[in-house]
Structure 1
């Protein structure tokens, strides 16, 4: 099951984002919220955004693989999702944000979603689901 490899890798990155947020909270002595600290605010949103987008991507990957998607497609979905989340996290984490990283990250994530959803729908309507 290929999707589980990406789930594990993305989980490690999620743990990194979690620890980074905790470290910033400790450094700036903010236990709840962001304390109007821009870096902490960005770290919280990167962490939250990751938590919001990765589960659906993994679910779509798992469903695609379960329906018999070729290995290359499943790896492509995982690569798009992982790269998209990494690029997005980098872009949003910067104090002087470069919008193209944020946009590219979201685009890669959405491409993963659309390709997986397309495969799932085609499989469903062709009787393979």
Structure 2
């Protein structure tokens, strides 16, 4: 049972629910049922959530496969924790600005680094 991935995934789901609630809050307040209604704040919130959905599922799947393949627990905790930190940084950064921000830059960089490290670990474990 991949218990580390289970906990990491549960924490990511909580973050996703926060991102979804932020979208719903604006939709309800501005009575926008579908799309972004031309509202730049709602559009940004939708993109923050969409970016999360574009990156997190494959990362969590790979983390689970690494755990099932026997990657040592400290690596799993490190990779999973770094992914969560990256996604919080990215969400906070993109929520504040569509341009450059500390959170967006480092959230993206850390997400890509975690994905790269997990892909390399997966390739290594598949070959040994």
1:51 to partner: Cα distance: 1.1
- Residue number among 109, 125, 128 corresponding to 2:127 in the alignment: 125
Q: Unaligned 5+ residue runs, structure 2?
A: none
1:107 to partner: Cα distance: 1.0
Conserved in 2, the CA contact under 8 Å of 1:20 and 1:43? yes
CA RMSD of aligned residues (A): 1.3
Conserved in 2, the CA contact under 8 Å of 1:88 and 1:106? yes
Alignment: residue pair count:
126
Conserved in 2, the CA contact under 8 Å of 1:88 and 1:105? yes
What is the TM-score with the length of structure 2 in the denominator? 0.92
Q: Unaligned 5+ residue runs, structure 1?
A: none
What is the TM-score with the length of structure 1 in the denominator? 0.91
1:75 to partner: Cα distance: 0.5
- C-alpha separation in 2, matches of 1:80 and 1:122: 20
- C-alpha separation in 2, matches of 1:6 and 1:52: 17
Conserved in 1, the CA contact under 8 Å of 2:66 and 2:121? yes
Conserved in 2, the CA contact under 8 Å of 1:38 and 1:95? no
Is residue 2:27 matched to residue 1:25? yes
1:100 to partner: Cα distance: 2.8
